[in-house]
Chains A and B, each alone.
Chain A
Amino acid sequence: MKFPTFSKGVHPSDHKEYTNTKSIEFMPLPEEVFVPVQQHIGAPDDPVVERRDEVKTGQVIGRSDKYVSSPVHSPVTGKVKKIDSFLHPMGSKVTMIQIQRTGEDEWDLLDHPDRWEDASVDELRQLIWDAGIVGLGGAAFPTHVKLAPPEEKPVDSFILNGCECEPYLTSDHRAMVEMTDKILTGMSIIMKTLGVENGYIGIEDNKPDAVEAMNDRVRDLGMDYTVMALETKYPQGAEKMLIKSVLDRKVPAGGLPMDVGTVVNNVGTAIAVAEAFTEGKPLVQRVVTITGDGIAEPKNVMARIGTPFQSLIDFAGGLKEEATQVFMGGPMMGMAQHDLSIPVIKATSGIICSREATITKMNTYPCIQCGACVDACPMNLVPTRLAKFSEQKMIEAMEQYDIDSCVECGSCAFACPSHIPLVQWIRVGKYRVNESRDKQAA
């Protein structure tokens, strides 16, 4: 049977066998958490607590008045120990609020309607904002902004993204199997907020149990959502690719999903929305996959935001002696880490511990013009040229070759037989293009 998909892309081996049958375990509350005040794309939050303040679980500890922003909440009940800059998974030091836990959870819940069905669209949007919900797929875009498309761009379809196309990760997979109802509730709330009728759930066909679980519940609950199994191919979960696969609509270059009447949200986001409305809980925890051949007992855990990686790794039996690399996120787009004191943030979908640092074993060869990157790029770019232009700082050429359309999925570098760090060069190129634009604007 052929499943719907997009064109091009790559087929990395998925390695999901480590954790795809392991139920989500609740991690014991961490002794100490480090909560970055900014965990979203947009304006940074200001801390609203001070040192030695007592905080409850779910209490707002950072917020901003800007529209494109999202508040952060305390993930534990405890005392603010320090507000300082600590190392962040993205590699730099950023302001974080360190909280020492003093006891069990004492929730500071959100004011939520008894029945979300009765709430107005504005109330729904406001609560999503107040709950600090951002896209949990990795980009961390504030959800309340995404759910408020401008009037001139009517949205008619919503797609729930259950693809999880990154190898190794199984957090969305397990959530779909175990937290099906919550996900469907979250999806219904999101669709009500958007005012759309057509709901789709896109899942890669390497998760047949998730497809079945979602399908069964959708049928049982009499919902008219369409559960779609999609071809297992990277990057199936990229918004534009997913919309092409599910609806056969092409988001224009430089455009957003709403330009083709669509909004896409991740499974994890739907869970967060459901929890905010049914339990009044803001986003203080998420499912994280701890996996790889470098960890003793790979597992899926429900972990509080701010929990240091080391604690999660300890909970999963610790690192194996031979572990040489640790990543946050999947192997295609994730960030390599050098220090395990960094905390889980809202965008942490997984922690991969690997025994092999592939990069140290690979020889780089000159580009042999094989075109493998061209065959791989789902955005139809010519990565080898972009990399060359970037290397030679040819700003105009990069713009002509549509460098802005690159989604940095890494398919080109994956496919390159010469092992040229193509996507890395393209990132540098984007930076150079922006730099020159800034200069021109100034």
Chain B
Amino acid sequence: MTDEKQDASKESEKKQAEESESSGKSGAETEKSKKSRKKKRKKKKKDPRSKLFSLDRQPFVLSPSPHQYSEDSVPKIMWSVVGAVAPAAIMAVYYFGLPAVWMILACTFAALGTEVIINKIKGEGLTIGDGSAAITGLLLALTLPPSFPVTGGILGSVFAIAIGKQIFGGLGANIFNPALLGRAFLQASFPVTMTTWTLPNTAKFSGVDAVSAATPLGQFKFEQIMTNYGDLLVGNIGGSLGETSAIAILLGGIYLLVKKYADWRIPVSFLGSVFLLGGLFWLINPSQYPDPVFHLLSGGLMFGAFFMATDMVTSPITPKGAWIFGAGAGLILIVIRIWGGLPEGVMYSILLMNSVTPLINRYTRPKVFGEVRA
């Protein structure tokens, strides 16, 4: 099409050149020809087709096809994720009280603030409206232990946005999940406070402010104590702010899957591979290894599988890639939980898989329609 346009414009140029040549042939006639040219111009201005029919209201807006779009947009997706995380956040507040509220607010606003400052430095428009910074702050807050200092949370949020996201070029350009990168930074900087857990401040412990305790995973790993499934499901256990209640996470997670704002293959393959591999070890030695259901319900696995691993930016874009991504994360998780020094491995499993996402994308390109590849 561009070709045609160019040709057309070339043609018109030629015509003009010819006209000017012929008019410039004799100097005496210059004025005359000028007049006639003026006349010609006038004629040209008046559209000859206007006699034929009323040309109403031109021109119209030009735009490339398609002219119709789906109703999804980036802000809609991001704010939906915020909504999906809400049940887990509410449970965090219910179990851990005001400190949870402060932590969530501080991290979210710190993330938004950092985003604004970097927007200003870069001299670009504000990007906090797209919701991605808010979701980073919120997710980070919910992965922190209840007794973690708020200032630490703020520090983590600043790191998450500045180093985790903006340094790569902002939304869509980061390799690692910013919230998890923020958490990894805190884990490295404050290893003790990051692994100090308190029990939920429920009726059972009324009067007692915060009881220091291990998480179910820690209890099992270091003391072989099992926590019952009921507590794991509702979240009446020790653990990070948002990760304790499996039910609340499932509620939001399923909403995301139904709305297709998260690729269902990722949680399915992540949880599935943990279940299978965990089950394998359990079958080998039930007294040493926990059963697969315990693996699924304890620690940050549910939270990570539904809200962290499914982060669109850092997970593969191809369907096959999503399977590999989830299964790979599950494998790493089991390796860390079974042989690692840490009781938990969600964060590292996802971060490690993030790092190979570009590679996965490259090698899982769907087969083009009709192509038979060897």
Q: A338 contacts B58, CB within 8 Å?
A: yes
CB-contact partner of B1 in A92, A167, A370, under 8 A: A92
CB-contact partner of A93 in B8, B54, B368, under 8 A: B8
Closest to B4 in A: A92
CB-contact partner of B318 in A90, A382, A410, under 8 A: A382
State whether the Cβ of B341 lies closer than 8 Å to any Cβ in chain A: no
State whether the Cβ of B53 lies closer than 8 Å to any Cβ in chain A: yes
How many CB-defined contacts (below 8 Å) exist between A and B?
202
Closest to B7 in A: A92
Q: Whole-angstrom distance between the alpha carbons of A339 and B2 in the complex? A: 19
Q: A365 contacts B370, CB within 8 Å?
A: no
CB-contact partner of A91 in B1, B369, B370, under 8 A: B1
Interface residues of A in 235-287 (CB under 8 A from B): 240, 250-253, 255
Q: B60 contacts A252, CB within 8 Å?
A: no
Q: B368 contacts A341, CB within 8 Å?
A: no
Convert A200-242 into 0s and 1s, putting 1 for each residue whose CB lies closer than 8 angstroms to a CB of B.
Answer: 0000000000000000000000000000000000000000100
Identify the stretch in A51-59, A175-183, A327-335 within 8 Å (CB) of chain B at 4 or more residues.
Answer: A327-335
Convert B72-98 into 0s and 1s, putting 1 for each residue whose CB lies closer than 8 angstroms to a CB of A.
Answer: 111111000000000000000000000
Closest to B171 in A: A366
Q: B65 contacts A410, CB within 8 Å?
A: yes
Q: Whole-angstrom distance between the alpha carbons of A281 and B310 in the complex? A: 60
State whether the Cβ of B207 lies closer than 8 Å to any Cβ in chain A: no
Contacts of A370 in B (CB 8 A): 77, 312, 317
Convert A295-314 into 0s and 1s, putting 1 for each residue whose CB lies closer than 8 angstroms to a CB of B.
Answer: 00000000000001011001
State whether the Cβ of A421 lies closer than 8 Å to any Cβ in chain B: yes
Nearest CB of chain A from residue B101's CB, rounded to whole Å: 29
State whether the Cβ of A336 lies closer than 8 Å to any Cβ in chain B: yes
Q: B317 contacts A410, CB within 8 Å?
A: no
* Interface residue SS majority, chain A: loop
State whether the Cβ of A384 lies closer than 8 Å to any Cβ in chain B: yes
Q: A253 contacts B56, CB within 8 Å?
A: no
Q: A365 contacts B74, CB within 8 Å?
A: yes
Q: A308 contacts B76, CB within 8 Å?
A: no
Nearest CB of chain B from residue A28's CB, rounded to whole Å: 13
Closest to B366 in A: A380
Interface residues of B in 8-24 (CB under 8 A from A): 8, 11
Interface residues of A in 337-371 (CB under 8 A from B): 337-341, 352, 354, 357-360, 362-363, 365-371
Contacts of B49 in A (CB 8 A): 308, 341
Q: B66 contacts A314, CB within 8 Å?
A: no
Contacts of A418 in B (CB 8 A): 73-74, 172
Closest to B130 in A: A365
* Interface residue SS majority, chain B: loop
Nearest CB of chain B from residue A293's CB, rounded to whole Å: 12
CB-contact partner of A319 in B5, B56, B169, B312, under 8 A: B56
State whether the Cβ of B173 lies closer than 8 Å to any Cβ in chain A: yes
State whether the Cβ of B372 lies closer than 8 Å to any Cβ in chain A: yes
Interface residues of B in 261-281 (CB under 8 A from A): 263
Convert A363-407 into 0s and 1s, putting 1 for each residue whose CB lies closer than 8 angstroms to a CB of B.
Answer: 101111111101100111110100000000000000001100100
Q: B318 contacts A338, CB within 8 Å?
A: no
Contacts known (A331-B65, A335-B65, A414-B68); A369 close to B315, Cβ less than 8 A: yes
Nearest CB of chain B from residue A315's CB, rounded to whole Å: 11
State whether the Cβ of A102 lies closer than 8 Å to any Cβ in chain B: no
Contacts of A354 in B (CB 8 A): 67
Q: A405 contacts B65, CB within 8 Å?
A: no
Q: B317 contacts A310, CB within 8 Å?
A: no
Contacts of B54 in A (CB 8 A): 310, 314
Q: Whole-angstrom distance between the alpha carbons of A253 and B170 in the complex? A: 37
Q: Whole-angstrom distance between the alpha carbons of A232 and B132 in the complex? A: 34
State whether the Cβ of B206 lies closer than 8 Å to any Cβ in chain A: no
State whether the Cβ of B188 lies closer than 8 Å to any Cβ in chain A: no
Nearest CB of chain B from residue A14's CB, rounded to whole Å: 10
Contacts of A362 in B (CB 8 A): 69, 73
CB-contact partner of A358 in B69, B370, B372, under 8 A: B69
Contacts of B366 in A (CB 8 A): 374, 380-382
Give the 6 A-B CB pairs with smallest separation, nearest first: A410-B66, A371-B317, A338-B59, A366-B172, A357-B61, A359-B63
17 contacts between A and B (CB under 8 A): A32-B52, A91-B1, A91-B4, A92-B8, A251-B369, A323-B60, A336-B61, A337-B60, A358-B69, A360-B61, A362-B69, A363-B73, A365-B73, A366-B169, A371-B322, A381-B366, A405-B368
Not counting A310-B56, A319-B57, A336-B60, a sample of 7 additional A-B residue pairs whose C-beta atoms are within 8 angstroms of each other reads: A335-B65, A336-B61, A359-B61, A359-B63, A405-B368, A405-B369, A417-B76
Identify the A interface with B (CB < 8 A). Answer: 10, 12-13, 31-32, 85, 90-94, 167, 240, 250-253, 255, 308, 310-311, 314, 318-319, 323-327, 331-341, 352, 354, 357-360, 362-363, 365-372, 374-375, 378-382, 384, 401-402, 405, 410, 413-419, 421, 423-424, 431
